[in-house]
Chains A and B, each alone.
Chain A
Amino acid sequence: MNTLVAGLDCTGETYSVALMRGADCLAESGGTSARAHLRLLFPALTECASRAGVRLADLDRVAVTAGPGSFTGLRLGIVTARTMAQVLGCRVVPVDTLEALAWNVPDSPRVVAALDARRGEIFAACFETRAGECLRLTEDRAFTPEELAGALESWGGGVLVGSAAARYGPVLSQVPGVRVLPPVFAQIRGSAVALAGRRADPVAALDLAPTYLRSAEVQLHGVQP
């Protein structure tokens, strides 16, 4: 497995890109401004390539977080990945944002990856992580904080990670068995996206599509046909 994989994430307040050869991270780069990732996503990738001494032209596949996440960020990542695949003729793999986030917590029987989706909503899913693996236990879903507290209780607690942990941590940490990780663990890493995308099935560049999770009607609120 000496494939060269690029991992991209720009679905949230941070962005990160990485180049992986097999399980080795050759270079990783990113930042924390949602505004900057519009400008810096692709340059970060070329910077990684030159630091790692590889050519982007040699990429075997591009893995990108395809949602849920900020609509603008999702589309930016997808267009970038699609264009890379078109030019390089390489494979492209959509990675679930919550799964990429769960990779931040290794070796845990229950990781609850949770993103603050604003408007009082949380996108969350439950995973089990073992050495180099991340198994999905529940599907992605939108929760209210109360619903997620109830779900956490029924799951018997878990390690809560992601932007929702910072916002709703004080409430959710009241649930027995829940441990809330600090914000530093909430940044999705390009290397995790690449790792998750290494095993997943690739799709044709033009079939890569975002998972908005929230309906268009919500976003178009106030603009009635």
Chain B
Amino acid sequence: MSHYRVEPYTPRLVLGLESSCDETSVALLEDGRHCRVNLVSSQVALHEKYGGVVPEVACRAHMEVLNPLLEEAMERAGCRFSELDAVAVTHGPGLVGAVLLGVAAAKTLAGLLEIPLIGVNHLEGHLYSTFLEHPDLELPLVCLLVSGGHTQIVEMTTPGAYRVLGSTRDDAAGEAFDKVAKALGLGYPGGPRIDQAARRGDPSRLSLPRPMREVGYEFSFSGLKTAVLVHLQSTDRVSDDDLCASFQDAVVDVLVTKTLRAARTCGARTVAVAGGVAANSGLRRRMEEACQKAGIPLRSPSIGLCTDNAAMIARAGWELARLGLRSPLTLDARPNLPLTPRV
């Protein structure tokens, strides 16, 4: 069991912990909206030479930085442990050995301080990242969660009432970016590099498939990735910049088309894009244009809050507290934790 019900409560100061993939993060959130500190230690440089996240390398790095980061967060916020009112922690999905380190620290803090422990689904954290800068955004919200590990469209009608409209059947969008970048020898992480090259290229030079663009809310990017790899073998190759532009255009087209269709179908009052790929400039621009045309406000988090961070975990935890949810000290790390509604 990961949660039990209690009387709804509103913690004033929530400590957030995030360690599910390749960023370690500690945040302090006051009154659900004022972010006193949000420290993120990224491991990108460590994984660069392997061309992807290596679990053992990630776990070692999390272990090394987690406690120093906690110390620094408390110091910078000028806060004592005794002032904390709740601890929110990512307990999945993610690398199990990494998730459990955040969970271990969170349990210890909550147990010793005798304050509520709140397990947060990492995807739920991304959903609420939007609220950090737009606390008054209107629901229902349709959010595109897009990163190296996940690609899904989620509807939130009221806090805690989530519905996953569609996920990816194979590669996550960010994964497709990484694989194409690797094939082009652009290095890791692929997203920013392709984004950069795409700005110099012409997206109309190469016509690439838009997998499942017109049907449903599910995604499939492996066919598109394969089409790019096949083109690389062909004799009439376009330039790398044009290839990046065409590839990015195809991915963005699918992401934007499906998100807007979901928003119209659900009667969304707000659209958001969260997750690491939300930093992609092509996606941001196209989503902005599409939302403007549809007359639905786009409220995406700023780039620092799109990538993995603990402020969003603290924000989600604060929301779960107000729904009367609390986790036992036996909370487990769940590598494949699905996003399920809380109400």
Contact = CB atoms under 8 A, between A and B. Distances in A.
A87 B108 contact: yes
Given A46-B329, A206-B71, A87 B112 contact: yes
Nearest to B56: A219
A78 B105 CA distance: 10
Contacts of A205: 67
Contacts of A56: 111-112
Contact of A57 (B105, B112, B328, B330): B112
Q: Say what secondary structure dominates the interface of chain B.
A: helix
Which has the most chain A C-beta neighbours within 10 Å: B59, B63, B97, B332?
Answer: B63
Contact of B109 (A45, A72, A75, A87): A87
Interface string A70-114: 011001101110111011100000000000000000000000000
Contacts of B245: none
A86 B84 CA distance: 14
Nearest to A43: B329
A74 B213 CA distance: 47
Contact of A75 (B68, B97, B111): B97
A152 B19 CA distance: 43
Given A43-B329, A78-B63, A216-B60, A86 B71 contact: yes
Contacts of A57: 112
A57 B112 CA distance: 7
Nearest to A212: B60
B4 interface: no
A203 to B, nearest CB: 13
Interface stretch (A33-41, A130-138, A160-168): A33-41
Contact of B104 (A76, A206, A216, A223): A76
A210 interface: yes
Contacts of A206: 67-68, 71
Contacts of B81: 86-87
Nearest to B52: A223
Interface residues of A, number: 32
A75 B101 contact: yes
A78 B333 CA distance: 17
A91 to B, nearest CB: 15
A87 B100 contact: no
Given A72-B59, A220-B54, A79 B330 contact: no
A59 to B, nearest CB: 9
B212 interface: no
B67 A76 contact: no
Contacts of A71: 56, 59, 97
Contact of B56 (A76, A88, A216): A216
B333 A38 contact: yes
A185 interface: no
A225 interface: yes
B13 to A, nearest CB: 15
B66 interface: yes
Given A43-B328, A76-B100, A87-B108, 8 more contacts: A42-B104, A56-B111, A72-B100, A75-B60, A79-B67, A83-B105, A223-B50, A224-B50
Interface of A: 38-43, 45-46, 56-57, 71-72, 75-76, 78-80, 82-84, 86-88, 205-206, 210, 216, 219-220, 223-225
The 4 closest A-B pairs by CB, nearest first: A225-B49, A83-B108, A75-B63, A82-B67
